[in-house]
Amino acid sequence: MSHEQTSHLTKYLVPGKRAHLVGIGGVSMCALGMVLQGMGINVTGSDMNRSKATEDLVAKGIPVTIGHAAENIAGADCVIRTAAAHDDNPEIAAALAAGIPVFERAQSWGYIMSAYENAVCFSGTHGKTTATSMMTHIAMEAGLDPTVMIGGYLNLLGAGHRVGSGDTIIAESCEYCNSFLNFTPTIAVILDIDADHLDFFKDLEDIKHSFRQFAELTPTDRYSSFDVYCGHHFYTHVDLRVLGRHNCMDALSAIAAAWALGVEPEAVTRGLTSFTGAARRMEFKGTYRGADIYDDYAHHPGELKATLDAVPQRGYSRTIVVFQPHTYSRTKALFSEFVEQLSRPDLTILADIYAAREQNTVGISSKDVADAIPRAEFYPSFEEITARLREIAAPGDLILTIGAGDIYKVGETLAELGQ
């Protein structure tokens, strides 16, 4: 899904807006309607035929018109259509003529998925429905309270969909018309690839290309398990215990040096498996009131990005970053880059700039950085920062102290209080 499409959806799929779904009786569209309703959106729909799905929608308070007519879209802020509804559909034609934005079903699902911490998408030429159904059984048994979208009926659900309140969505993801490329998976499963849907794809290679794009939609810093080839020959397999693409790149450099030294591959595998991180590189400091405390030496926006990119994979419910800028000159020169990265956590706490060898001749302060970030606070002393963390720390939090100065002392103090 392009940035422009996402931007448009952001404007229309918000509480209070009205969305009209053309073909709402379809398995995926029915589930979509209920999910949108749960988001506070006023949903209406239409379908050519009355069915159990349309009756279920009406029972949930979603008005459904049987038959398609231009007047059905009156009052809609946006229209979402099933793949079977083309531009000559009277409702789609009326929306386009009136300047009402029309979105595809898959675009809408992709936007919705982006709000879930875990989006498990099952793809493949064969077996999608079965695998998605099996995962649903597992997720339900595990108490994950998932939202589910399956292209078939599942006895467990009494339907092909489910609207849950957990942080996991499980979705059958079809390659036809490249619809699954609109999705935002955190876990992308590919069961198999076969020559199918040749009315859309050119050939098997075209299908493979589409699935490769689908696989690449997953977050880029899940590279913790990989095979290493040297000179086109398999050398060893590596399972890192540290996360992030940057750590994988560092590991590859060490592996290359080991290979040049003639080190046995088994030793490389064992050595990297036992590595849990260098000091002040996502170093675990302890806990406080159920919150985990880590420390990292990052002091450049690029290093900050690499550190924060690895955070989502740790599964915390909230991320609190305590950042101590290092030197006035760096803070001034890279101000906008620091603001961009420090806007990512749920809360950012700024400490005074660590001066190192400098004097503040450039007129910059940590408060200036905090003022430019929507969810940021500034405290001039470590005591005040520690007091603030003691006030807000909760189970499921990640408290991450970052900087090349002495900000690690805050985490250590908090950890000692938690003992």
| Annotated domain spans of the chain | 3-108, 116-215, 225-273, 283-417
Q: What is the pLDDT of residues 289-334, one digit of tens each?
A: 889 999 998 999 998 998 898 788 677 889 999 999 999 999 999 9
Tell me what pLDDT residue 277 has: 67
User: Helices marked H in 60-171 — which ranges?
Assistant: 90-98, 105-113, 128-141
3-108 topology per CATH: Rossmann fold (3.40.50)
Residue 257 has pLDDT above 90, yes or no: yes
pLDDT of 3 strictly over 50: no
The whole model's pTM is what? 0.53
Instruction: Give the Å distances, CA to CA, from 194 to 174, 234, 236, 353, 373.
Output: 13, 27, 30, 57, 49
Closest CA to 245 of 203, 202, 303: 303
Contact 23, 29 (CB under 8 A): yes
| pLDDT grade for 11, boundaries at 50, 70 and 90 | confident
Burial class (CB in 10 A: 0-12, 13-18, 19+), 369: buried
pLDDT digits (tens, 9 = 90+) for 378-392: 999 999 999 999 999
Determine the 3-state secondary structure of 339 from DSSP.
helix
What would the mean pLDDT of 21-35 be, rounded to a whole number? 90
Instruction: Tell which CATH classification among 3.40.1190.10, 3.40.50.2300, 1.10.1740.10, 3.40.50.1000 matches the domain 116-215.
Output: 3.40.1190.10
Both structure tokens of 342: 């420090």
Mean pLDDT, rounded, of the chain? 89
Alpha carbons within 13 A on the beta-carbon side of 406: 7
Q: What is the predicted pLDDT for the residue at 215?
A: 87
Dihedral angle computed from the Cα positions of residues 88, 94, 100 and 105, in that order, rounded to the nearest 10 degrees: -40
Residue 153's pLDDT is what?
A: 80
What superfamily would CATH give domain 283-417? Answer: Mur ligase, C-terminal domain (3.90.190.20)
In angstroms, the CA 65 to CA 208 distance is 40
Q: What's the pLDDT tens digit per position in 45-93?
A: 999 999 988 999 999 999 999 999 999 999 999 999 998 899 999 999 9
The kind and range of the H/E element at 26 are none
- Please state the length of the chain: 419
Distance separating alpha carbons of residues 196 and 409, to the nearest angstrom: 59
H/E run at residue 316: none
For 47-58, give the secondary structure using H, E and C.
ECCCCHHHHHHH
Rg (CA), the chain: 25
Residue 220, pLDDT score: 57
Structure confidence at residue 222 as a pLDDT band (50, 70, 90): low
Q: Do domains 116-215 and 283-417 have the same CATH topology?
A: no
Q: What is the pLDDT of residues 349-385, one digit of tens each?
A: 999 999 988 999 999 999 999 999 999 999 999 999 9
C-alpha to C-alpha distance for 269 and 259, rounded to whole angstroms: 12
Alpha-carbon dihedral sign for residues 403, 405, 410, 415: positive
Residue 1 has pLDDT above 60, yes or no: no
User: Which of 5-19, 130-144, 181-195, 222-236 is the most confident on average?
Assistant: 130-144
Assign 7 a pLDDT band (cuts: 50, 70, 90). very low
Q: Is 278 a residue whose pLDDT tops 70?
A: no
Query: Residue 245: pLDDT band by 50, 70, 90 thresholds?
Result: confident
